[in-house]
Amino acid sequence: MQPDGVHFHMLIYKRFAKSNAKTSVWILALYMPFVILSVIFAHQSFVLIALSFVFVVLYQVFYRRLVAFRF
């Protein structure tokens, strides 16, 4: 079986990075602001819910643009 080519990391690999290490850097750059903010606001439920919502929306927008390759 071959891996699915429309996974988020595969789309970044194909469109931008062209190497596994660069793909990891792209993904970390996208996730780290949310991780850091989640740690900072760990005891504030409303902020965590808002961060989760923003992350999901941005992920969907970025994913759909990667699939369609429109920037």
**Contacts (Cβ under 8 Å, ≥6 apart) of 30:** 62
Assigned domain for 63 exists: yes
Rounded Cα distance, 11 and 66, in Å: 6
Residue-averaged pLDDT of the chain: 86
The stretch 42-67 carries a mean pLDDT of: 93
Whether the Cβ atoms of residue 24 and residue 56 lie closer than 8 Å to each other: no
Assigned domain for 3 exists: no
pTM: 0.77
Assigned domain for 21 exists: yes
pLDDT at residue 60, rounded to an integer: 92
What is the domain range of residue 62?
8-68
| Number of domains within the chain | 1
